[in-house]
Amino acid sequence: MNDIVPFQEIQKEAAKAFGQETAANVFGFLADITRQPAKELGGLLADHVRYFRFKTQLKILKKAKKFHGFFGCKPQEVPLKFIANLLDNCSWEENEDMQTRWAALLANAANQGESTTDYVTYVELLRQLTPIQAMCLEVMYEERDYPARLYSRQLPSYQSAHTLKLALSIADDQLHVLFDSLMRLNLIHVKLGQENDTFDTQNVGIERSYEESSLTYLGQALIKKCRIPFTEQHKKKIRAICMDKIEEVARDPNGKPLDTLFDAMKEVYGYMTDNDVRAAVWSGFRKYIWKGDQITKHSERPLGTDLRIQIVDMIIEELNRIHA
């Protein structure tokens, strides 16, 4: 590490750039998660750093502190090797979505009771990902028909390349390069098959098929650690939103009220998808106000407080299952 910059000087620069309160919050969070002497923390932030990198580091630290607030606990200490690698590598990131992933990774590492054994590996993997590679992993993780995000599901959970091409708006050759790069990092694998239809026991040939792919367990874990989990704080806020809007949705379960509910819930928990909300709401309706699978408008009478509570409890239970 080159020139060690006094920690106090780094704080002054941060206060100039972002304001005194923001600087105090960010550096308070950094002090909570590491016991390194202040002068060395200054070095971590200032070594080879020009204004852009410094600004990016502070932006990601600020996000991480906000994300950690969802856990409702004091942050735990994280290994210096992890924090040093993360601060160095995240400082080059210009893409907003990638910055959010870096912030979530740090927040998860600082969660009380979280094992940080593999977090240096996650830093190294995230460092090598481009935005479109990360998006590819996210699409595979979110795919409704192949729910790799449901951790009770056994991998591989194969999905078609056609789905990914449409979601990412890329051509065949681009997808093949994308697959090769992600396989190099052992984050996905593609299905294997015979080279030809004739099975020759003396000369068996195996080839890759780029038509179907799956996350590996490492790929699944990386995506999970680069997201903030569905916490009790999220559930509390979404419960309040549902209690307020669920009767309106019950009267028009396919229309605008459901879209409005989705928008409000996504404001609380950004990883929520339209399919998540629809599945959760309809599960509550099927159990309490629909007869069988018959989709009907509930306009005859008010739902009543007790019934609304039962439906919303079911919605939260389903969302928790999806985002466990």
Q: Which domains are seen in the chain, by residue range? A: 7-128 (no CATH), 133-225 (1.10.10), 232-322 (no CATH)
The whole-angstrom separation of Cα 149 and Cα 143 is 9
Q: Are 30 and 106 in contact (CB under 8 A)?
A: no
H helix or E strand, kind and range, residue 314 = helix 305-322
Residue bearing the bigger pLDDT, 27 or 151: 27
Average pLDDT over residues 44-53: 57
Per-residue pLDDT band for 307 (boundaries 50, 70, 90) equals: very high
Q: What's the one-letter identity of residue 90? A: C
The whole-angstrom separation of Cα 136 and Cα 208 is 19
pLDDT value at position 146?
45
pLDDT value at position 48?
45
pLDDT tens-digit readout, 243-278: 999 999 998 888 899 999 999 999 999 999 888 899
Residue 122: name the closest of 94, 71, 81 by CA: 81
β 188-194/159-160 pair status: unpaired
Residue 4 has pLDDT above 50, yes or no: no
Q: Which two tokens stand for residue 115?
A: 């094992």
Local structure of residue 90 (DSSP, 8 states): H
Angle between helices 96-109 and 51-68 (to 10 degrees): 50
Residue bearing the bigger pLDDT, 201 or 256: 256
Distances (CA, A) of 21 to 27, 148, 223: 10, 41, 32
Q: What's the one-letter identity of residue 148? A: A
How many other C-beta atoms can be found within 10 angstroms of the C-beta atom of residue 276? 20
156 cis-preceded (ω within 30 degrees of 0): yes
Average pLDDT over residues 178-186: 97
pLDDT tens-digit readout, 137-157: 999 988 754 456 665 567 888
| Distance, C-alpha 205 to centroid of its chain | 39
Concatenate the DSSP letters of all residues of 236-258 into one string: HHHHHHHHHHHHHHHHSTTSHHH
Residue 124 has pLDDT above 60, yes or no: yes
Q: Are 10 and 42 in contact (CB under 8 A)?
A: yes
Lowest mean pLDDT among 11-15, 57-61, 215-219: 11-15
Instruction: For the chain, give the longest Cα–Cα distance.
Output: 73
pLDDT value at position 49?
47
pLDDT value at position 252?
87
The whole-angstrom separation of Cα 262 and Cα 157 is 27
Average pLDDT over residues 280-286: 91
Average pLDDT over residues 293-321: 82
Query: What predicted TM-score, i.e. pTM, was given to this entire model?
Result: 0.80
Local structure of residue 213 (DSSP, 8 states): E
Q: What's the one-letter identity of residue 84? A: A
Concatenate the DSSP letters of all residues of 3-72 into one string: -PPPHHHHHHHHHHHH-HHHHHHHHHHHHHH----HHHHHHHHHTT--HHHHHHHHHHHHHHHHHHGGG-
Residue 314 has pLDDT above 90, yes or no: yes
Residue bearing the bigger pLDDT, 54 or 168: 168
pLDDT value at position 68?
95
Task: Tell me if residue 189 falls in helix, strand or coil.
Answer: strand
Partners of 7 in the beta sheet? none
* Average of per-residue pLDDT values in the chain: 84
